[in-house]
Amino acid sequence: MPKPHVNYHLYLVTDSTPAVLKDPSRFFDVVEQALRGGVSLVQLREKTADTGELVSIAKRLHELTKKYNVPLLINDRVDVALAVGCEGVHIGQDDMDLETARKLLGDDKIIGVTVSNVEEALIACKNGADYLGIGTVYATPTKTNTKAIIGAAGVREILAAMETAGYYDKVRTVCIGGLNKYNIARIMYQSRHVDGKQGWLTLNGVAVVSAVMSADDPEEASKELLTLVKSSDKFR
């Protein structure tokens, strides 16, 4: 089976904790509304569920994402992705290493890696990541154990290093952390100067948790975010 084509424009990372999702019993309903609004990729991120619970949520979520032809990735857990037969995983710097994950999942699955600096980014690119989740961009109550808040400058530095190393057009990029309709446009485009000329480095998309999961109308919120992202995608 070939690797599925992935559209990274609007990447929903789920969170069913009450601080993010006021009514956790609406979890699948909220994700479905987001899919209707145009979310193009979904990551199941459940930090507290036990394995049995996680597999059962992932199976149900996969049925839903398949209906919308949207890939589902699992946060941290290669075993759960294999059990469910979904499209891939997202791993952090402290999770299973990329080479091992790739061996277990094979070349047809999507693997994304969290990176917060140039060194991590270039290693992930070299080791075959399909995409980088660059962050944490802005401080966010959704994730407080973040290693570093990198801001727009940190994002620019990583994209520029990817360009220099020849990965910019090969490995996809999304940003995560405190992103919403007010700051997305500013983070998608990063200006840079080469030989005295101004140019732009851009991301392939944006990953959000609360901007969609906590929205009063997740479908409308997704539509609005997607419109902002699409105007600055580098593979438009």
Choose the one of ligand TZP, Mg ion, none that binds residue 13, judging by a C-beta under 5 to 8 angstroms depending on kind.
ligand TZP
232 in contact with ligand TZP (CB under 6 A)? no
Would you tell me which residues interact with Mg ion (CB under 5 A)? 76, 92, 95
Least distance between Mg ion and beta carbon 209 (Å): 14
Q: Interacting stretch for ligand TZP, rule CB under 6 A, among 1-9, 78-86, 173-181, 220-228?
A: 173-181
113 in contact with ligand TZP (CB under 6 A)? no
222 in contact with ligand TZP (CB under 6 A)? no
Least distance between ligand TZP and beta carbon 166 (Å): 26
Torsion of CA 106, 109, 110, 111, to 10 degrees: -30
Phi, psi of 170 (to 5 degrees): -110, -40
Establish how many alpha carbons lie within 13 A of residue 33's alpha carbon, considering only the half-sphere containing its beta carbon: 17
Contact letters (x/-) for ligand TZP, 140-159, by CB under 6 A? x-xx--x-------------
**Taking Cα atoms as reference points, which of 227, 232, 235 lies closest to residue 37?**
227
The CA R_g of the chain, rounded to the nearest whole Å, is: 17
Least distance between Mg ion and beta carbon 92 (Å): 3
Least distance between Mg ion and beta carbon 174 (Å): 15
Which residues neighbour 203 within 8 Å (Cβ) at sequence distance 6 or greater? Answer: 134, 155, 159, 173, 174, 175, 187, 188, 232, 233, 234
> Which CB sits closer to Mg ion, 145 or 198?
145
Pull the structure tokens for residue 172: 């996809």
Q: Which of 190, 210, 222, 232 binds ligand TZP (CB under 6 A)?
A: 210
211 in contact with ligand TZP (CB under 6 A)? yes
Q: Which of 122, 125, 208, 221 binds ligand TZP (CB under 6 A)?
A: 208
Q: Is the peptide bond before 136 cis (omega within 30 degrees of 0)?
A: yes
77, 132, 173 from 112: Cα distances, Å? 12, 6, 9
135 in contact with ligand TZP (CB under 6 A)? yes
Choose the one of Mg ion, ligand TZP, none that binds residue 202, judging by a C-beta under 5 to 8 angstroms depending on kind.
none
Choose the one of ligand TZP, Mg ion, none that binds residue 95, judging by a C-beta under 5 to 8 angstroms depending on kind.
Mg ion
Which residues neighbour 9 within 8 Å (Cβ) at sequence distance 6 or greater? Answer: 38, 40, 204, 205, 206, 226, 229, 230, 233
Cβ(58)–Cβ(78) under 8 Å? no
Residue ranges that bind ligand TZP, judged by CB under 6 A: 13, 135-136, 140, 142-143, 146, 176-179, 208-211
